[in-house]
Amino acid sequence: MTDAAPRIGRRGSLAERVEERLARDFPGAAVPLGSDPADLDGSRVRAVAVPARELPADPLPGRDHFAFPAEEPLSGAALLFREGDRLLLEIRRFYLPPVTIAGAGPGGAGSMTFDAGRAVARADVIFVDCLCGRDVLRFARPGAEIVPVGKRCGKPSVSQEEINRGLVREARRGRRVVRLKGGDPGVFGRLEEETGALRALHLPYRVLPGVGAASAAAAFLGQPLTVRERAAEIIFSTGRLAGGGKNPFPLRGTHTPAIALYMSRRVLADRLADLRAAGYPPDTPAAVVEKIGSPAARAVTGTIATLPALADREGVGTPAVVLVGRQFHVPDHLPLAGIRIWLPAERETAESQKRYLTELGATCIEEPLIEPVAIPVDRGLLFGRRYDWVVFTSKKSPDFFFDLLRQWGFDLRALPRVAAIGNPTIEKLRARGIEPDLIPPEPTRVALSDALIRSGLSGRRVLIPASAAAPDAVREALRPHAAEVVRMDLYTLRFPEVRAVPEADVVLFSSESTVRSAKRNGLLPRIRERGMVVGGIGPATTGRLDREGLPAAIVPEGTSPGSLARAVRRHFANLSIAALAGEAR
């Protein structure tokens, strides 16, 4: 068979296959098809069936088209038809998946809705704003096309017309299209321009709301947008109208509702002066929240009379939202509000630490200094050998070990007794239905070795799945007491190149390896120069910090994320309490 057209059925031409399918889906409508685009010049056919790969990027004058989506029986085929043909437009709307215009919320993936994340996971192509955090694309499937279409005031950007054309073009191709917008797409997000372009061509679409920047900014301050007794309404406004003119405040007298100003940083002084002219008292509280939802988020508070100068002095940039109203004041509702913390652990560990710290108000910056990477493992270390103990000393070891067992087809019912240290490691095992037979009283390698020796290792064989970079202390301690102690190196640690120290108040080292990586990247002197508060988890980490001349001021009692968050909270609480005690004296 040498026919270049896709074979939709078992017999006949492509046009016959498509015509047959249309008759099945729409028995009440006759849609005669041709196989040559020139057929549309006459009146004999309603549309022309062609291979989808032959479609032009944009329709020819007086023509329209669409490709059948990948999940349809007619995948690989396309239809050309006359522009404005209402019957074919309706048929197209039936087959094409709707374009999804979704709000990604401000900043990172944490503020995305579940529906938006699910849409991203199914998308073939994603048009994404520059205001969306980098991690919103973590849900995208491998192979999805990412199209950056950021628009920033005063900077080179993709025009709205180009974005509209891109959405229409990809929708016509039968692809699942997602347009990701920062914040809520319906609030100063040019939603009408994009839905209008789709609606004009009878292309299906849906809109998924997102967390708006004003709502997120108020939440960052720990305060409401509205208050029943004194702020029962709020006005959303922008710095300038589309044509560049002022957006007036037609208010006078004592009626002073709360205001949320979008895209107003560059004209902040003018806008707040307009509010005073509209009857707002000069002492009305106001706050500007910069880069809301990102690790660099911060707030500057004052009044409508003082805020412009304060924002200039503090170097507040964009994007920023300005909130005006009696309810907006200095945020002090959380113990770690305003504290910026650098988490240099590998991403899984940093994510779990971040969940606890952000609950307390901290802003967390994830910039990993280590990355676990699998390495080849000899099957002979496991098969044909009998072990009495398997010992886990790190959080990542269970992941790599059980992934390897699954690849090798190992029956877990043959697993020997299990020993482990560290709550994260133990929780990983429990998540797989494995309760460790031995957990030492302290989460250290020394305590683990002592407990195993006391259990009686004479004639026993021990397997230690580990990182190639891990110390050999446990194996060396057990070897004199056991028949055999085998170390199975499952993964190594890659040290990413990180040349800049993040803008942070605190750095929390979760392992000795993160300290080694920081030294290799030349970051330790910069941490010292910045005067950053240093934290370390576990004796190996704090010992290494001591040797590097960076003693840890924050040392949690355990290794869990909750214990770490409590130690950070205790450190800053002690600073506040000491200051208050000094004032009392």
Give pLDDT tens digits for 168-200: 999 999 999 999 998 999 998 899 999 999 999
**Is the pLDDT at 116 greater than 90, yes or no?**
yes
Q: Mean of the per-residue pLDDT values for the chain?
A: 88
Buried b (16+ CB within 10 A) or exposed e, 242-271: eeeeeeebebeeeebebbbbbbbbebbeeb
Specify whether the CB–CB gap between 67 and 78 falls below 8 A.
yes
Instruction: Classify domain 222-324 by CATH number.
Output: 3.30.950.10
Beta bridge partners of 374: 491
Order across the sheet with 340-343: list the strands. Answer: 363-366, 340-343, 506-509, 533-536
Neighbouring residues of 334: CB distance < 8 A, sequence distance ≥ 6: 222, 360, 361
Report strand pairing: 33-34 vs 47-51. Answer: parallel
Q: What's the rounded Cα separation, in Å, for the pair 283 and 276?
A: 10
Domain boundaries, given as residue ranges, for the chain = 14-95, 99-211, 222-324, 340-370+496-577, 372-494
145 with 125: CB under 8 angstroms?
A: yes
Cα Rg, the chain, nearest whole Å: 31
pLDDT category, 2, cuts 50, 70, 90? very low
Separation CA 479–CA 466 (nearest Å): 16
Assess contact for 37 and 48: CB atoms under 8 A: yes
* pLDDT tens readout for residues 287-345: 999 988 877 788 888 899 999 999 998 888 888 999 998 888 766 677 887 788 999 99
Question: Which band of pLDDT confidence, cut at 50, 70 and 90, is reported for residue 11?
Answer: very low
Q: Which fold has domain 99-211?
A: Cobalt-precorrin-4 Transmethylase; domain 1 (3.40.1010)
The pLDDT tens digits for 54-110 are 999 899 899 999 999 998 889 999 999 999 999 999 999 999 999 999 999 887 788
The set of catalytic residues is: 129, 151
Does the fold of domain 372-494 match that of domain 340-370+496-577?
yes
β-pairing verdict for 484-494 and 371-374: antiparallel
CA–CA dist 447, 474 (Å, integer): 10
Q: Write out pLDDT tens, residues 483-497.
A: 999 999 999 989 999
CATH class belonging to 340-370+496-577: alpha beta
Cβ burial, residue 176 (10 Å; 0-12/13-18/19+): buried
- Which CATH number does 372-494 carry? 3.40.50.10090
